[in-house]
């Protein structure tokens, strides 16, 4: 199946999932996670209209983004991987939104290095998994407020990666909790309108639970070696 066909399929499946959940299809956007995939394949995705793209390794973004910068239509890059402070410099020239901010120190480094205004999402460790990145749910809104006070950074919303499980349905409570946190944030005056939740295997559940941005790799670009 061509990339263009897969992209069309995903977008129609997302629309169906929205309608099933009583939501409007335009409320959910699809981010193409193209890690490990060659630039030629990404050009195909861009030509098919998939302009929202994401990398999860800083150096990979640094290396690939310049090769696509002049492409029409141009990509909008997001960064979705774990980010060490010493690699922020590779990411900020390219990423419009960094999904994985889970400490004030990381946000400060992003603010210091970014060449212009940048959006961030606060990553929530909804499952309280000590092995995983993300801030705990009860510290999330305080971190949002702290980060929001920095120059050049706007907190656009929240992101979460639930534990890997057999049954995507078991992730529902984690997605629901992050949606609830975002609603509390909005009530407190935060602009948390992006909810980055859901991947190839669980995006239908995430959409039902309130996701506005799903991160899809395999279902668009095929499996990774
Ligand atoms: C790779 C990646 C995805 C996409 O995963 P698939 O299962 O291939 O859809 C989503 N989120 C993050 C953080 C990723 O690194």
Q: Is there a contact between 28 and 213 (Cβ–Cβ < 8 Å)?
A: yes
Dihedral angle over CA of 25, 189, 94, 122, nearest 10 = -90
| Of 89-93, 105-109, 152-156, 162-166, minimum mean pLDDT range | 162-166
Q: How confident is the model at residue 209 (pLDDT cuts 50, 70, 90)?
A: very high
Cα(54) to centroid(ligand 1), Å: 9
Distance (Å, whole) CA 223 – CA 203: 17
Cα(131) to centroid(ligand 1), Å: 17
* pLDDT tens digit sequence for 114-152: 999 999 999 999 999 988 999 999 999 999 999 999 999
Task: Catalogue all structural domains in the chain, each as residue range(s) with its CATH number.
Answer: 3-221 (3.20.20.10)
* pLDDT tens digit sequence for 148-179: 999 999 999 999 999 988 999 999 999 999 99
Q: Which amino acid residue places its CA nearest to atom 11 of ligand 1?
A: 215
Distance (Å, whole) CA 107 – CA 54: 19
């Amino acid at each position: 199946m061509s990339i263009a066909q897969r992209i069309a399929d995903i977008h129609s499946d997302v629309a169906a999932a929205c309608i099933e959940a009583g939501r409007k299809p335009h409320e959910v956007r699809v981010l193409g996670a193209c890690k490990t995939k060659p630039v030629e394949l990404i050009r195909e995705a861009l030509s098919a209209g998939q302009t929202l793209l994401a990398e999860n390794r800083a150096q990979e973004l640094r290396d690939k983004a310049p090769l696509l910068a002049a492409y029409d239509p141009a990509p909008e890059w997001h960064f979705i991987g774990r980010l060490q402070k010493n690699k922020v410099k590779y990411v900020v020239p390219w990423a419009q939104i960094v999904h994985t901010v889970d400490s004030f120190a990381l946000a400060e480094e992003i603010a210091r290095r970014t060449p212009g205004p940048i959006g961030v999402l606060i990553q929530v460790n909804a499952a309280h998994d000590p092995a995983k990145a993300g801030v705990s749910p009860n510290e999330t809104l305080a971190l949002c407020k702290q980060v929001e006070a920095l120059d050049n950074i706007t907190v656009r919303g929240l992101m979460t990666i639930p534990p890997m499980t057999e049954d995507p349905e078991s992730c529902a409570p984690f997605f629901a909790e992050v949606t609830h946190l975002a609603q509390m944030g909005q009530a407190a005056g935060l602009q948390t309108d992006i909810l980055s939740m859901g991947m190839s295997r669980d995006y239908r559940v995430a959409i039902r639970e309130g996701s506005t941005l799903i991160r899809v790799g395999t279902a668009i670009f095929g499996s990774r070696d």
